[in-house]
Structure 1
Amino acid sequence: MTRPDTDLIIAGGGLAGATLALALAKAVPSLRVTVVEAFPLSPEALPDSYQPSYDARSTALAWGSRLIFEELGLWSRLSEYATPIEHIHVSDRGRFGATRLHAAEHDQAALGYVADNRWMGLCLMRELLETHVQWEAPAEVVDMMPLPEGVRVSVKSGEDTRELTAQCLVVADGGRSGLRETLGFQVRTHDYGQNALIANVSTAESHRYTAFERFTDAGPMALLPHGSPSRAGHQSALVWTLTDEALEELLALPDDDRCRQLQQRFGWRLGRFTRMGACNHYPLKLTTVDEPVRPGVALVGNAAHALHPVAGQGFNLALRGLMTLVEQFRLAVAKGTPIGDLGVLKRYQTLHHQDWQQTVQFSDSLIRLFGQSPPPLAAARDAGLVGLDLLPGAKRWFARKAMGIGGRRAVIDHPARTSRESVKHE
């Protein structure tokens, strides 16, 4: 293959794809990046201002993710509508066990943040307009053929399909990736037999910037502070785990009855639930791909792995993986190695897999431990939560997991740095 049409094609311009494109534009400016996105995008379509919606879907951002966005120069813009999590309260419904985490105990402004997905996307788009990243939108990658020195990618726009050559293709089109299946990646799925109901709710009492993780006999639920970064208001983002039957029954109820059901399940720590907004839901599964890289192809974000949302680790894990991939691309470019080289992608996979494995074990163990209620196990859980609250070392470990820090951090800036500096620890 002669000089390719572009160096990297990113299939999917959502949060993962757009963040990867921005990070590469900052860290490896010599790399030509093309993003292929199915949703129509143009500078003229971006609104001049952002108006938050009560029913906006949101994402929990760990403190470690804030550090990444700061490194990308995006946090000052993103923080305008990012609600801080200053406290985390973990409890087991109907039992005495509980533990509490506070940002001040770790000399941090917050343990994490909650930001609307639409606001995050808008911030990324505005920042990307100031870079050299190219967009193909509306369009989609429908197929890929490996070449000796890269890949040939089929891009469909309307009724027309054309081919682009590149060193590498990154698949970032989400957990329901059709491209992943087209390319023959083998997906393993563990079905939790439950659903996540997502909605914004209002309560009589202020959340005081507190996130609640509440484990119940019917499954875990989370309430995250939402609505304002400067005023501790009464709006929270709800993630409620429900069986198929319970979900169907809940969705059939009037709004007031839904609030009463939630009240019964969560309790009164935030006073009376006064409103529940539009409800979205999806089945809960742990999705993994055994080999998420091939010569010239890498899966990232939910296309590579999807977690249970109870611990709020999904996007944060994906973000750390993206930075690891950027780091390996930067080192490859510095050495003159094609970015689609299998050795480059395998190095990314090895480094990210360590993080993935630890995060999955952390999240999945919470589900398995708190998803069962035999008396001896319930008593052990309570003792564990109380012990966690009393033992500084264990509590610090738990807090750092929740904050997304403590492990390896990728070096994505200063292209001239050598590979010896490619590993640093918190």
Structure 2
Amino acid sequence: MSDASPTAAGPTSEPLIVDVAVAGGGLVGASLALALAQLQLRIALIEAAPFGAADQPSFDDRSTALSNGSRRIFEALGVWSLIEREATAIRRIHVSDQGRFGFTRIHAKEQGLGALGHVVVNRVMGAALWRRLSSEPNITVLAPAKVQSMQLQQHQQRIECVLGDGTVRVVEAKLAVAADGARSTLRQSAGIGASTWDYEQVALVSNVLSQHFHDHVAYERFTPAGPLALLPLTEGRLGLIWTFRPDTAREMTGLSDGQFLERLQSAFGFRLGRFTRIGSRQLYPLSLTRSDEYVAERLAIVGNAAQTLHPIAGQGFNLGLRDAVSLAEVLADGRAVGATEFDAGDGVWLQRYREWRAADRSNIVRFTDGLVRVFSQPFGPIKLLRDAGMLAFDLMPSAKDALSQLSLGAAGRVPRLARGAPLLPP
């Protein structure tokens, strides 16, 4: 890796010429760069935050539930060994409806799995990804570097960036990849719009301690205020994600620690004994955003630039990571054809990526959005139906088997890396 800082990159009038330029060095963009490095392609990773900075938006103190497929991807990228000690296995999932009779339980052993997934703090994953990036000679990291514009030329995308010292740097890439979030500059530069549905909800995120050990159980509880998730973390901690309407969320952040814990105790109950400590509380507005297109000429869109999801089902990052490694696999297959001059931006590969991702993306978006809408309904008959559905689900092994398959993907072809197979075809 080179050009990891403005000092290393230096002012230059010479464009940086690469096969693939990835805009956005968050969890998905950094993972994509590492996957592409296995193909011996020249990669540029453009990131607005300084290299290794803890304030990169993706690398905050939120917790992410990694599916088993995502764990395998991280193993293949050499990342899992760097975060494994900080990862907490999910052995069971318990879903319930506050004050009502509906509940569902899923056990890893019943599914023939060692774990249903793992929970890792985002900043731990971010640090591991940056560490891996620094060891890859085929990846040039421009950070901090803010994308100003992207212009399609005859056989490439021309991306103009401003480095942290004010220097302008131009990157010329056969393929540009937008991994720069819901308000993607690259997506907008290509004239691609996005539809957004504001859930009028805010996620309050924190860490809590309880009297009793979580025993590797992930809890999802639907409360009148909004969904409440408690995810098992290291050192007996629990990652809290509690969804509220914006006015209620602001009220909750204004409470003292003791007052907040009382509200949490009342909503969750005493399965874990008393809650004894709460960390800092952060708020994140929630919406569903979908890009109008997922490819354009010499452009692919992945991760939150393609779709941002409600955290209710914990599928957003896992879906984005599958975007990344699916694109890498399409390019790996193209590279294996044996063409003398491999063109990563050829429309053939982009169309294959687009077609491959359509079903998985559509199904996960519908599944997540459907959960939000069903469990946000205050009407009695709908509550009865959903509680009956949860009880029926708890008694149906086939339904649990189907849900556990979300750890690999919602439909169709599963990426090789998510199955534990090598990226390069045999």
Within 1, Cα distance between the matches of 2:304 and 2:89? 25
Within 2, Cα distance between the matches of 1:142 and 1:136? 13
Of stretches 148-157 and 300-309 in structure 1, the one that deviates more from structure 2 is: 148-157
- Quote the residue 2:111 is aligned against: 106
| Pairwise CA distance, 1:182 | 4.1
Q: Does 1:122 align with 2:127?
A: yes
Within 2, Cα distance between the matches of 1:15 and 1:415? 19
| Pairwise CA distance, 1:315 | 0.2
Q: Which amino acid aligns with 2:283?
A: H
Give the counterpart of 1:143 among 146, 149, 170.
149
Trace 1:68-83 onto structure 2 (pairs within 5 A).
68-83=73-88
Trace 1:21-420 onto structure 2 (pairs within 5 A).
21-26=33-38, 28-29=39-40, 31-41=41-51, 56-132=61-137, 133-157=139-163, 158-228=165-235, 233=236, 235-335=237-337, 336=339, 337-401=342-406, 404=409, 407-411=412-416, 417=425
Within 1, Cα distance between the matches of 2:225 and 2:291? 29
Verify the 8 A CA contact 1:112 1:403 in the aligned structure 2: no
Within 2, Cα distance between the matches of 1:415 and 1:312? 25
Within 1, Cα distance between the matches of 2:105 and 2:93? 6
Structure 2 runs not aligned, ≥5 long: 1-14
| Pairwise CA distance, 1:16 | 1.0
Within 2, Cα distance between the matches of 1:328 and 1:16? 17
Distance 1:362 1:280, change over 3 A: same
Verify the 8 A CA contact 2:16 2:170 in the aligned structure 1: no
- Quote the residue 2:4 is aligned against: none
| Pairwise CA distance, 1:219 | 1.7
| Pairwise CA distance, 1:399 | 2.6
Distance 1:405 1:192, change over 3 A: closer
Distance 1:77 1:405, change over 3 A: farther
Of stretches 406-415 and 237-246 in structure 1, the one that deviates more from structure 2 is: 406-415
Verify the 8 A CA contact 2:151 2:157 in the aligned structure 1: yes
How large is the RMSD of aligned CA atoms in angstroms?
2.2
Verify the 8 A CA contact 1:63 1:405 in the aligned structure 2: no
Secondary structure of the 1:167 match is strand
Instruction: Compute the TM-score of the two structures, normalised by the length of structure 2.
Output: 0.89
Within 2, Cα distance between the matches of 1:415 and 1:68? 10
Within 1, Cα distance between the matches of 2:197 and 2:90? 30
Give the counterpart of 1:11 among 15, 20, 23.
23
Within 2, Cα distance between the matches of 1:281 and 1:209? 25
| Pairwise CA distance, 1:193 | 1.2
Within 2, Cα distance between the matches of 1:37 and 1:367? 32
CA displacement, residues 232-262 of structure 1 (integer Å, 9 cap, x when unaligned): x2x1101101001111211121111111111
Q: Which amino acid aligns with 1:241?
A: T
| Pairwise CA distance, 1:414 | 5.4
Within 2, Cα distance between the matches of 1:56 and 1:414? 31
Secondary structure of the 1:206 match is coil
Within 1, Cα distance between the matches of 2:319 and 2:216? 23
Verify the 8 A CA contact 2:18 2:172 in the aligned structure 1: yes
| Pairwise CA distance, 1:417 | 2.8
| Pairwise CA distance, 1:404 | 4.7
Within 2, Cα distance between the matches of 1:399 and 1:16? 22
Within 2, Cα distance between the matches of 1:249 and 1:172? 34
Secondary structure of the 1:222 match is strand
CA displacement, residues 296-326 of structure 1 (integer Å, 9 cap, x when unaligned): 1122111111000011000000011111100
Q: Which amino acid aligns with 2:80?
A: W
Structure 1 runs not aligned, ≥5 long: 47-52, 419-426
Secondary structure of the 1:110 match is coil
Distance 1:314 1:416, change over 3 A: closer
Q: Tell me the matched-pair count.
A: 400
Within 1, Cα distance between the matches of 2:319 and 2:266? 32
Within 2, Cα distance between the matches of 1:92 and 1:415? 42
| Pairwise CA distance, 1:176 | 3.5
| Pairwise CA distance, 1:367 | 1.2
